[in-house]
Amino acid sequence: MPIEIPVDKWPGTVRAVTLGATAAQGGTRSRTVTVGGEKSMPFLKFETPMPNPPVVAIEIRDRRPEDWSQLLLKTWESVADDPAAWAKAAEAAGADLIVLALSTTGRDGQPTTPEAAVASVKAVLQATGLPLIVFGPGQAELDNTLLVAVAEATKGERLVLGICEDKNYRTIVATAMANEHLVSARTPMDVNLAKQLNILISDMGFPLDRVLMDPTTGALGYGIEYGFSAMERLRLAALQGDSMTQLPMIVTPGFEAWKAKESKVGEGVPSSWGDWLERAINWETVTAITLLESGADILVLRHPESVKRLKTAIAELQ
Amino acid sequence: MPLTGIQIYKLLPQTNCKECGYPTCLAFAMKLAAKQVELSACPYVSEASKTQLAESAAPPIRLISLKSDGYEVKVGNEVVLFRHEKTFYNKPGVFVKIRDDQTPEQIKAIAVPADAYKVNYVGIDLTLDGFAVESVKGDPDSFKNAVTAVRQVSKRPLVLVSKNPAVMAAGLGTLSGERPLIFAADPSNWEAMVELTKQHKANLAVAPGSGGGTKLEVLADLTEKIKAKGVEDLVLAYEAQSMGEALALTTQIRRFALRKNFRALGFPVIEFPSSITSIAQSISKYAGFVVLDHFTPDLAYPVLVLRQNIYTDPQKPIQVQPGIYEINNPKPEDPLLVTTNFSITYFSVANEVEGSGLPAWLMVCDAEGMSVLTGWAAGKFDSERIAKSVREFKAAEKLSRKRMVIPGHVAVLSGELEAELPDWEVRVGPREAVDLPAFMKQALK
């Protein structure tokens, strides 16, 4: 019998956001990456094609992250002390974008200086032509000091600066505005908090087509269902026409999954957890794919095998 | 067309007897209209009304049950497209594939550990649901032997996979007193498969095969024909070629069922995902049965946890009872560790401390079921609440050395806490539970 497929026609569209700037656009990137633009829930191509496929970023550090799982350190062993080499290796592993996360302290144990942060960022920019996202160490004051210096030293590159939270968004947004960068706005797994921060950023006169939102998600087994539903609700609100939620979403399944015991630890765990490496990669992959299905536009991962799997899945879903 | 609550009410006894569990017939009618209860809850409804209501009262996605000796897997009866709209009710059955070109020894080497597989997650034992035995060789004897080999080592429910009725009959012949799922009827074999289904009181999966028309059109035609023959316990298969096709079809089927109350597609679906990414998609996007093509613990564990997470009722965060828990027989001089009553948080912390072998008192504060960071952001886990818990649970009476450790994520509370509890030493612990044992060994000596 002929049947008519039920199709949703939404009034709203997610904003398209472009990361990075080429030489012609005032930066030095060899290419840019555009995310967002959706008019439907993820990958429902029988409604509308996904205008810009979600992309995969690999997270690198400005110095060897000793607190990372041994599995990750082993994987990146030869490059973990050199952010430029690490960025190249990440590009070779299939990354569409690089995330450089700055550390709280340098190798000497002293707090990271703005000069050191700028040097790391510049080294990475020289090593790769991919667009770059720079995250501060996650302490409001230090983030402000480091990110302002980075923003000024890289004017026009259209970097993404993060993390903007309700505590420190003003400084980061102001410097992003002055230096032609983007920001990533993070809120803890709540639709209204996410919306509120976007309103605050927009009220500063910052154009929303330079904002990504990071709803934070939790890992598989550690509250991912909250992130999953918060993201579905955010995306539905965007499609229904709420302009303050019409932003592409960036999520960090690599960070979330690799802090879980299942990924981090290989000894003294139940035998029902199985092989450590395979379990750890599955943990990261399942966390990431679940967020992809609920509306993620940028997935920040840590292990190259997860990157490969996610890229294959995105290609199959397109 | 589905009836409205008022239309249904007119067909009910209107006595407000309350035996259905609702205060009035109208309230019950409204629940029926929302497909949240079964008509059978009303003991007094007339036969005439029953027939009229059957269509409206049936859930839009039929409940399908696979049974075997001591086990039952129930799927279907879902009412929403997004879990935040209400909840997902019946977790998909996760089955492991067995092939009949494997020797009985090879089969047992898979089925024995998969049958026994059990992993503890937040205090719940998660297990796999059963096996899907596939005819690869195409002959009845091989299939019969494979089914027998599985049945010798596992009592869990089965899916039998063959499109050849003679092969299927051989497999079914080895089973008695159970309700397996037959996979599958398609436009070329459906009449024979329907007969087998009736004979063995089984459930029947329906596949589009290479029929003309779109997959959903073929499926809808076929389920109508099969229902006309008296078999209603059906499952839909669509044999998708990619994750994209599977997502489109699973979404469309659920929309047909829920939004259009389209009975021809009002059944759970079965998927055979081959990669970890497509398995994860099946779990979060509506599959009723998920058949894994192999079993290893490192695959089963994340898959079962994802299923548990996605099917958690979003309106009821899983909580543990606030109070002080003793871990590894603590003495009065041992430290008091502070956390929230969100169950995932509690179990992460408790498991670490237990595993460390170090004694401690674990104080679980009532943060309304939120995790440390979320609770703190929402004002449900602050110095006031922690101080209140210390008094309420009489922590001072249990401890000789008044030493507490707060999670690293709420380090900012330490100043206020020292003001609230002047005779306590407040220490800031690690952010993540996994780092607790090292912290306890080094910093708490």
| For chain A, domain boundaries | 44-317
* B266 and B337 assigned to the same domain: no
* B280 and B180 assigned to the same domain: yes
Distance from CA of B86 to the nearest CA of A (A): 11
The partner residue sitting opposite A45, judged by closest CB among B121, B248, B348, is B248
Rounded mean pLDDT of A235-262?
Answer: 96
DSSP 8-state code for residue B204: E
> Is B318 a member of any domain?
no
CATH of the domain at B16: 1.10.15.40
Q: What is the pLDDT of residues A116-127, one digit of tens each?
A: 999 999 999 999
Whether domain A44-317 has CATH 3.40.50.300: the reply is no
Q: Which of residues 104-163 of A touch B (CB under 8 A)?
A: none
Return the pLDDT at A136.
Answer: 96
Flag if A317 and B355 touch (Cβ within 8 Å).
no
> Residues, chain B, total?
445
Return the pLDDT at B194.
Answer: 98
Q: Which tokens belong to A250? A: 């960036």
Q: Which tokens belong to B53? A: 């209501």
Flag if A188 and B434 touch (Cβ within 8 Å).
no
Return the pLDDT at A189.
Answer: 82
Return the pLDDT at B443.
Answer: 82
> Is B411 a member of any domain?
yes
**Residue from A258, A282, A307 to probe the interface with B (highest B Cβ count within 10 Å):** A282
Flag if A289 and B281 touch (Cβ within 8 Å).
yes
Return the pLDDT at B211.
Answer: 66
Residue type, A297: D
**Strands (DSSP E) along B238-322, which ranges?**
269-271, 289-292
CB contact set of B442 (below 8 Å; sequence gap of 6+): none
- Phi, psi at residue B432, to the nearest 5°? -110, 145
> Is B315 a member of any domain?
no
- For residue A304, the SS3 value is helix
Return the pLDDT at A145.
Answer: 95
* B45 and B72 assigned to the same domain: no
Bridge partners for B42 per DSSP: none
Average pLDDT, chain A: 96
Flag if B344 and A313 touch (Cβ within 8 Å).
no
CA B312, CA B306: separation in Å to the nearest integer?
Answer: 10
Rounded mean pLDDT of A281-309?
Answer: 98
Rg of the Cα trace of chain A?
A: 19
Name every chain B residue with its beta carbon within 8 A of the beta carbon of A286.
Answer: 276, 280, 302-303, 306
> Is B317 a member of any domain?
no
Flag if B83 and A229 touch (Cβ within 8 Å).
yes
Q: DSSP string of B35-76?
A: T-S-GGG-TT--HHHHHHHHHHHS-SS--EEEEETTEEEEE-
* B237 and B378 assigned to the same domain: no
CA B99, CA B107: separation in Å to the nearest integer?
Answer: 8
Return the pLDDT at B57.
Answer: 63
H-type alpha helices, A128-223: 140-153, 169-178, 191-203
**Is the per-residue pLDDT at A304 higher than 70?**
yes
Range of the domain at B16: 5-57
- For residue B237, the SS3 value is strand
Closest by Cα among B167, B150, B79 to B110: B150
Bridge partners for B148 per DSSP: none
**Residue from B277, B278, B311, B315 to probe the interface with A (highest A Cβ count within 10 Å):** B277
Return the pLDDT at A186.
Answer: 94
Rg of the Cα trace of chain B?
A: 27
**What does pLDDT average to in each consecutive run of 10 residues of chain B (445 residues)?**
80 91 91 82 88 75 96 96 95 98 97 97 93 98 98 98 98 96 97 98 95 90 97 96 97 96 96 97 98 97 98 84 92 95 88 87 93 90 95 94 94 93 94 90 81
CA A18, CA A158: separation in Å to the nearest integer?
Answer: 8
**Residue from A70, A214, A284, A286 to probe the interface with B (highest B Cβ count within 10 Å):** A286
* B53 and B69 assigned to the same domain: no
CA A176, CA A170: separation in Å to the nearest integer?
Answer: 10
Q: End-to-end CA distance of chain A, in Å? A: 28
Q: What is the pLDDT of residues A109-164, one digit of tens each?
A: 899 999 999 999 999 999 999 999 999 998 888 999 999 999 999 999 999 999 99
Which chain B residue has the Cα nearest residue A230? B84
Flag if A274 and B300 touch (Cβ within 8 Å).
yes
> Is B269 a member of any domain?
yes
Residue type, A244: M
Question: Are residues A56 and A299 in contact, defined by beta-carbon separation less than 8 angstroms?
Answer: yes
Pairing type for strands A182-186 and A211-214 reads: parallel
> Is B145 a member of any domain?
yes
Which chain A residue has the Cα nearest residue B370? A223
Q: Which of residues 222-251 of A touch B (CB under 8 A)?
A: 222-226, 228-229, 232-233, 236
- The Cα-based distances of A117 to A20, A111, A177, A213, B196 in angstroms read 19, 11, 20, 24, 71
Question: Are residues A46 and B245 in contact, defined by beta-carbon separation less than 8 angstroms?
Answer: no
* B49 and B108 assigned to the same domain: no
Q: Cβ of A1 under 8 Å from any chain B Cβ?
A: yes
The total number of structural domains in chain B stands at 3
Name every chain A residue with its beta carbon within 8 A of the beta carbon of B220.
Answer: 1, 3
User: Which of A94-103, A238-247, B1-10 is predicted with the least confidence, judged by mean pLDDT?
Assistant: B1-10
Single out the residue in B252, B287, B310 at which a domain terminates.
B310
Flag if A43 and B84 touch (Cβ within 8 Å).
no
* B295 and B383 assigned to the same domain: no
- The Cα-based distances of A210 to A17, A173, A195, A233, A248 in angstroms read 6, 10, 15, 22, 10
Please tell me whether the interface predicted TM-score (ipTM) of this complex is above 0.95.
Answer: yes
Q: What is the pLDDT of residues A203-214, one digit of tens each?
A: 999 999 999 999
CA B373, CA B29: separation in Å to the nearest integer?
Answer: 43
My answer on whether omega of the bond before B184 falls inside 30° of 0, hence cis, is yes
Flag if B298 and A279 touch (Cβ within 8 Å).
yes
Name every chain A residue with its beta carbon within 8 A of the beta carbon of B276.
Answer: 282, 285-286, 289, 309
CATH of the domain at B220: 3.20.20.20
Q: Which tokens belong to B374? A: 């979320």
Rounded mean pLDDT of A69-76?
Answer: 97
Of all residues in chain A, the percent with pLDDT exceeding 70 is 100
